Amino acid sequence: MKTMDELELVTLDDAAAAVHKTAHNIRDYIQRGRIAKYDAQGNRVSRAPNGGLRVSLVELRAFMARMAQGNAQHHRAGFHLELGFYDVPEWQRTKHVHRLHPYLGKFIPQLVEWFLARYFKAGDVILDPFMGSGTTLVQGNELKMATIGLDISEFNCRIARVKTRKYDLEHARREILETERCVMGFSQQLARGADAEVQALAASLVAECHSEYLKTWFAPRALYEMLYYRRLIPQHEYQDLLRVVLSRAVRSSRLIPHYDLATPKAPLPVGQEYWCRKHARMCRPIEECAVKIHAYSEDTARRLEQFDQLRSDEPVTIIQGDSRTVNLRGELESTPLAGRAIDGIFTSPPYVGQIDYHDQHIYAYELFGIARNDPLEIGPKRRGKSRQAQADYVADISSVFRNMLPALRADAKIFVVANDRFNLYPEIARRSGLQIVEEFHRAVTKRTEQGNDPYQETIFMMVKQCP
């Protein structure tokens, strides 16, 4: 073990000054586990007392050297250095409403911002036919552009609507905190050892639950709390906002290892100890939901307020449907965008065989009884990456572009973010009547900082082919 002197322990501010970064950057490196936390006595800690947090300059410099090496490697590999967003800390990557709900496969807002700001102007109309959680819509709105999002998954549409709608902020805050207060009260009653009345209430909640998934993946107390919250939602105006708060809490309340929130395999038994890679100690799966509701309630209200300071009044239109077949012009007829030509697309389609987009939010579909459209998902994980899956993918993505193009201006610019490891996009462009005019190769930053081989995404810039 290194001594305190060998570690060169310093405060965050001193560390930041020493390597010409900000204290936010240093916190970000800690959060991502790139450098360790110490207390003032040189002990490695998971939490340091107020004002007592130290980091090791030796570790920090070693990490910075690895990162510089990674950047140089990326530069040699032809990656666009500005598009690596190497220095954008976690809190900016997940700024304001972008962190209202987790979503596997979303792109970082800075990437969208970079392209929209360079290739479009305020007042333009931007379409994302694979909207996901709505990153393009939020960033387009910030840049005073009208936005349209399409997605096959109803829950994704709800997340995007919750992020982009305009709120009476005081009222929204009141509804979130009032619902939280009621659930916390119920949770305390449960903790005290339920009397007959509370037991009857818990039994009536479970009687309303017809989902085997919910009964299997949550401890009884977590289940009571989430069902109690769900019962309160219809009393409020901003119901989907409350559903998003609850869903985020529910996702973190499953009986799963703390490190495995994104792709859990199976529920653990209640109380079962396991070695937790995230916390580097033995942990037990969570048994409550109220604690997460508490963590996310104030956070949600604050994030809505932050976005409200930045947002514009440009229209945001969200359409749930299959982008291959949806009648876009028809859908827009009853909106402020009726008859307007679309200036461009910024989108990241699903990649072949990577993610099952409905399944990643199974807990929300089960809890809110939302209808699923899994069979209409393009390129889902469950269909794999075989040659047949790739051929289907090419046909499906091409149908989407062919369906969208009539609504686009003749000189529209189309940006598609893809990890095109099977080199399918030249054929997709050809079949869609598009021409690839430029390719931007981007390294995916988090891996860079680990010093791994570059992992890349391509942003294809395309235009309509002349008839």
Ligand X SMILES: C[S@@+](CC[C@H](N)C(=O)[O-])C[C@H]1O[C@@H](n2cnc3c(N)ncnc32)[C@H](O)[C@@H]1O
Binding site for ligand X (CB under 6 A): 103, 105-107, 130, 132-133, 135, 150-153, 156, 322-324, 348-350, 357, 376-378
The β-bridge partners of 44 are 38
Nearest to 316 by CA among 454, 190, 164, 418: 164
Residues contacting residue 416 through CB under 8 Å, at least 6 positions apart:
345, 347, 348, 349, 425, 459, 460, 462
- Residue 458 CB, shortest distance to ligand X, in Å, is 14
- Residue 82 CB, shortest distance to ligand X, in Å, is 19
Nearest to 18 by CA among 54, 45, 55, 57: 57
- Residue 91 CB, shortest distance to ligand X, in Å, is 17
The β-bridge partners of 151 are 320
Distance of CA 151 to the CA centre of its chain: 15
The β-bridge partners of 342 are 408
CA distance 467 to 464: 9
- Residue 401 CB, shortest distance to ligand X, in Å, is 12
- Residue 80 CB, shortest distance to ligand X, in Å, is 19
CB-wise, 107 or 167, nearer to ligand X?
A: 107
CB-wise, 285 or 350, nearer to ligand X?
A: 350
Dihedrals φ, ψ of 409, to 5°?
-60, 160
- Residue 375 CB, shortest distance to ligand X, in Å, is 10
C-beta of residue 437 within 8 angstroms of C-beta of residue 368: no
Centre a 10 Å sphere on the Cβ of residue 57 and count the other Cβ atoms it contains: 17
CB-wise, 79 or 130, nearer to ligand X?
A: 130
Q: Would you call 456 exposed, middle or buried from its count of C-beta atoms within 10 A (0-12, 13-18, 19+)?
A: middle
Q: How many CA atoms lie within 13 A of 62 on its CB side?
A: 10
Nearest to 112 by CA among 467, 464, 457: 457
User: 3-state DSSP call for residue 129?
Assistant: coil
CA distance 246 to 233: 10
C-beta of residue 133 within 8 angstroms of C-beta of residue 112: no
Nearest to 349 by CA among 412, 393, 405, 407: 393
CB-wise, 300 or 348, nearer to ligand X?
A: 348
- Residue 128 CB, shortest distance to ligand X, in Å, is 7
Distance of CA 85 to the CA centre of its chain: 17
Which position's Cβ is nearest ligand X?
132
- Residue 185 CB, shortest distance to ligand X, in Å, is 35
CA distance 149 to 321: 10
CA distance 397 to 378: 8
Q: Which contiguous run of DSSP H or E holds residue 134?
A: none
Provide the total of helices (H) and of strands (E) in the chain, helices listed first: 19, 11
CB-wise, 89 or 132, nearer to ligand X?
A: 132
CB-wise, 9 or 400, nearer to ligand X?
A: 400
- Residue 108 CB, shortest distance to ligand X, in Å, is 8
- Residue 33 CB, shortest distance to ligand X, in Å, is 24
- Residue 6 CB, shortest distance to ligand X, in Å, is 43
CB-wise, 29 or 130, nearer to ligand X?
A: 130
Q: State which amino acid sits at residue 247.
A: S
